[in-house]
Amino acid sequence: MEVGAVGAMRYVKDGIKAARLVMQHTEHTLLVGEKASSFAISMGLPGPTNLSSSESIEKWAKWKANNCQPNFWKNVLPENSCGPYRPTSYLEHTDETCLKTYAMQTTDLRFLDLGHRIHDTISMAVIDRMGHIAVGTSTNGATFKIPGRVGDGPIVGSSAYANEEVGACCATGDGDIMMRFLPCYQVVESMRLGMNPELAAKDAIGRIARKFPDFMGGIVAVNKKGEHAGACHGWTFQYSVRSPGMKDVQVFTVLP
């Protein structure tokens, strides 16, 4: 039950190391924003560092040239092609034609064929020889996100959860939807109640899919014995496993 997390942290490359430092050296669970960066640097991590790459700059430039579309805004009108944005309900004497035109330009990212390219989550569960279980998640967040957005990565029970008495879970996908269900907490608790990893993972994914049939996500569950399984929705999901008895990593493919 030891936890550390950071969110919306800029200028520090090693987010997962910063999260571990929060766990090891504070009584807090989650640090965010500028102060999370300051904490990480004060604890010895390199920074402040410019984390932009030529690839990310090029991607951003193309997105801005396309009127900042697609994006995660909804029910808004921009003052120009890339904002600032204002709620439509706050605007008076709005031309209905203008509203319809903008609605056609705004595309919900969840319906685009972007798949894994809109996020870059790495989530891992580890069981050591003593039976101790740990999980960790690191992510750059969703592409084209609204500044300040924090996804499911640092949210306990959403992208990862572990309990040494039961097992662990890792998840990735549409974090804004998945974090509403704490799917990894659900998986671990389902295994505590007797479900095997496969049923627990499918049950957690099914709970989300029944409310949001268009979401994309994947879950990996592993019990304390090392038995594992995955479940997914909206995409073909892969995860890898390595155990002492294996000569190399094995990749498992899970179909929706």
Instruction: Tell me, yes or no, if 121 is annotated catalytic.
Output: yes
Residue in 88, 97, 121, 143 annotated catalytic: 121
Assigned token pair, 168: 């662990």
What is the C-alpha to C-alpha distance for residues 234 and 237, in angstroms, rounded to an integer?
9
DSSP state of 56: H
Position 172, amino acid: T
Assigned token pair, 34: 């500028």
Is residue 1 classed as helix, strand or coil in its secondary structure? coil
What is the C-alpha to C-alpha distance for residues 203 and 156, in angstroms, rounded to an integer?
19
Q: What is the 3-state secondary structure (H, E, C) of 146-162?
A: CCCCCCCCCCECCCEEE
Which residues are designated catalytic? 121
